[in-house]
Amino acid sequence: MLERGNAGDAAMTAQLIGHPPRPVSQFIADAAGARAQAKLGWLLPVLRYSIVAVWLITAVVSYGLYPVEASYALLARSGIPDALQPPMLYGAATFDLLLGLGILFFARRRWLWLMQLGLIGFYTVVIAVRLPEFLLHPYGPLIKNLPMLAAIWLLYELEKR
């Protein structure tokens, strides 16, 4: 068998695929692009699920894992009247929950990415103005919005139209 070679006649393959087969060296014309596409295939879901986790955990924490009275105090310092604090707290928590679930279950999410960009941008501005100590907080709660915004923007740009 070694004396006869190990390659068959390519005519049958050419007939099957409608053109002569390419050499192995030409299988992938853009190796860097193919590598990036392959990485995005598994990295984008990881990024998407991590953002889902942020929204869902934020909702659960806001519903009561974080002391509700402390949440009301933050809302009061943000200028929210006492009567509106419960609906604002639970409304925001429900909105966070719906964003997380929407990302998880909707096939088309471009509008959800835009909503998140707007919401995080709004929260960031309000907190920076009303609670400026969070700008210089050692844990950087507002500064961490920057990579979150960048990640959501990336997901928006890469989402199928």
Q: What is the pLDDT of residues 100-116, one digit of tens each?
A: 999 999 999 999 999 99
- What is the dihedral angle through the alpha carbons of 148, 142, 137, 84, rounded to the nearest 10 degrees? -130
Say whether pTM exceeds 0.85.
Answer: no
Q: What is the pLDDT of residues 149-159, one digit of tens each?
A: 999 999 999 99
Tell me how far apart the alpha carbons of residues 117 and 151 are, in angstroms, rounded to a whole number. 10
For residue 12, give the H/E element and its range: helix 11-17
Tell whether the model's pLDDT for residue 24 goes beyond 90. no
Tell whether the model's pLDDT for residue 4 goes beyond 80. no
Average pLDDT, the chain: 93
Tell whether the model's pLDDT for residue 2 goes beyond 80. no
